[in-house]
A and B are shown apart, each in its own frame.
Chain A
Amino acid sequence: MTTVIFKREFCSFFATPVAYVFIFMFLMLSGVFTFYLGNFYERGQSDLQPFFNFLPWLYLFLVPAIAMKSWAEERKSGTIELLITLPISCWQAVLGKFFATWAILGLSLILTFPLWVTVNYLGQPDNGSILAAYIGSWLMAGAFLAIGNCMSALSKNQVVAFILTVVVCFAFVLSGTTMVLSSLKGYVPAIVLDTVASFSFLSHFEAISKGVLSLKDIMYFVLVIFIWLFACHILVEQKKAD
């Protein structure tokens, strides 16, 4: 049944301009980030570091936009009553919706292949680590999306869902930056500081962006996805009739 929901959700993104606009913006911005802000040519290195380094920031604003409608719209239009009374468990619906948005992100990442072609044309990059970085990027997208789906279940209003998602994701991204950590240093014990840092998407993505896909980082993102989807499931159950 998850696949039935997945199919409907995935197709509905393409029935409206949402998916096309999203993918177009994703590709355009990733190009801008890579070539202008990332100094792709000036670095003189044949890898995709500039692209992957900016990815969390790109996700921060684009992923909430694709996740915001998943539950908010169901509740607003009343179709949630239809969905829940079909012989589908709530988990299947949550997963179906999540995977549909995750697939869109996967597709967007695949469509950045011209970058990969370019870097292969210009030099001899380590394609294994590029693949690893892509897989890691997709995993991180899942974490952003799980948060977005959960926030979408929280509010009937898509704009509210969008803003909440940006805020929560921002906290997760930012918690690993030196800015946050140095401001906390001295005020809190080291263990708290380590905990805050370990929650960060950035610190877990850092190695991934260089092509090092460690089990620890994979587990972190899988766990984040699972926990937020679990929260999403609870919220849907509780708020479906509001």
Chain B
Amino acid sequence: MIQITNLTKKFGDFVAVDNLNLEIKAGDIVGFLGPNGAGKSTSMKMITGFLEPSSGEIKINDKNLKAAPIEIKQKIGYLPEGAPAYGDMTVLQFLSFIADTRGLKKAQKKQKLQEVVDKVELQSVLNRQIDNLSKGFKRRVGLAQAIIHDPQVLILDEPTDGLDPNQKHQVRALIKNLSKDKIVIISTHILEEVSAVCNRAVIIAKGKKVFDGTPFELQSKSKYNQALNVEFEGQLPDISQLKLAPGVTDVVQRTDTMISILSHESYGNIFPQIMDLIHLQGWSIKAMYNEQGQLDDVFRELTQEVA
């Protein structure tokens, strides 16, 4: 379990992280979201013991990070932003060095190396210098070094940044397949990633926490959550009638041929009555469906309130 209380980090006058409180339990896969410069990386650097907080406290498994840094660092796996690695080493040398620092020895070390190489699929580049690897492979080497000792806490700073869609999928599957009693913290810009892998989303902006809940809750904050979208065949007809239908609070034109009908919560599903109305008017439509909500909008709303 990670407990973060009143965590603050200042660089001169600039407050990077402002009184952050967070409690993360085993099994949580936390998506750490926020605009650039919101303090995501700074927070992660403090949790991993790279930066000292200006004030506040970080406890991992009820142990204070300040009091037992080495002991806690043993339990953490960390992929720093950009996946830095010693470029003059080969992949195998590098992973072997990391295994040594993690205190893995002989048979156990060999086994763990084998496991991690299989998991992240590095067989083909084991004896190549890291400097000569593609971005995707470099990122995977970074990931491998973070999980080699099967850490209780895994902290990944933008693990899928710069990867192609296949590689992204692979990394997400890898994170999902980690055992269920671990803590995973992932920072990302990609909102879909949060719904895809995380069971908890935390948004920070200007160093402050502005949202903490499930990705589903995040989605339901969108004004388009449960909105009914109608795509018309060809030109948009006169839709003023729709606004007058019972339960409808607003009709928003989203594109040239598509509208969203927002309804009042108490009305439940307005699908049938809108369907009837469209029939009555003789409009030809292409599609009609309920929307889950636009994460982008929620994200923008939440992070701009602070700005």
Q: Is the CB of B50 within 8 A of A87?
A: no
Q: Contacts A4-B100, A85-B73, A87-B101 hold; do A241 and B51 have CB atoms under 8 A apart? A: yes
Q: Is the CB of B88 within 8 A of A79?
A: no
Given contacts A85-B76, A89-B69, A240-B50, 19 further A-B contacts (CB under 8 A): A1-B101, A4-B97, A11-B93, A12-B88, A77-B84, A78-B81, A81-B45, A81-B50, A81-B80, A81-B84, A82-B84, A82-B85, A85-B48, A85-B49, A85-B78, A86-B102, A87-B71, A87-B103, A241-B51
In the complex, whether A219 has a CB less than 8 A from a CB of chain B is: no
Chain B residues close to A by CB (< 8 Å): 45, 48-51, 69-71, 73-74, 76, 78, 80-82, 84-89, 93, 97-98, 100-103, 129, 145
Residues of A within 8 A of B88 (CB): 12, 15-16
A80 to chain B, nearest CB (A): 8
| B interface footprint on A213-242 (CB within 8 Å = 1, 0 otherwise) | 000000000000000000000000000110
Number of residues of chain A lying within 8 A (CB) of chain B: 22
A-B contact pairs, 24 of them (CB 8 A): A4-B101, A7-B100, A8-B86, A8-B97, A11-B89, A11-B93, A15-B88, A16-B88, A78-B81, A78-B84, A79-B86, A82-B85, A85-B49, A85-B76, A85-B78, A86-B73, A86-B101, A86-B102, A87-B101, A87-B102, A87-B103, A240-B50, A241-B45, A241-B50
Q: Is the CB of B98 within 8 A of A86?
A: yes
Residues of B within 8 A of A89 (CB): 69-70
Residues of B within 8 A of A240 (CB): 50
Residues of A within 8 A of B69 (CB): 89
Residues of B within 8 A of A107 (CB): none
B154 to chain A, nearest CB (A): 12
Residues of A within 8 A of B80 (CB): 78, 81-82, 85
Residues of B within 8 A of A8 (CB): 86, 89, 97
Chain A residues close to B by CB (< 8 Å): 1, 4-5, 7-8, 11-12, 15-16, 77-79, 81-82, 84-89, 240-241
CA of A45 to CA of B50, assembled, Å: 57
Residues of B within 8 A of A1 (CB): 101
Residues of A within 8 A of B78 (CB): 82, 85
Sorted nearest first, the 7 A-B pairs with minimum C-beta distance are A78-B84, A87-B73, A81-B80, A87-B74, A4-B100, A85-B48, A15-B88
CA of A34 to CA of B145, assembled, Å: 48
Residues of B within 8 A of A81 (CB): 45, 50, 80, 84
**Who on chain A is nearest to B70 by CB?**
A87
Residues of A within 8 A of B103 (CB): 87
A42 to chain B, nearest CB (A): 44
Q: Is the CB of A77 within 8 A of B87?
A: yes
Residues of A within 8 A of B84 (CB): 77-79, 81-82
Residues of B within 8 A of A15 (CB): 88-89, 93, 129
Residues of B within 8 A of A87 (CB): 70-71, 73-74, 101-103
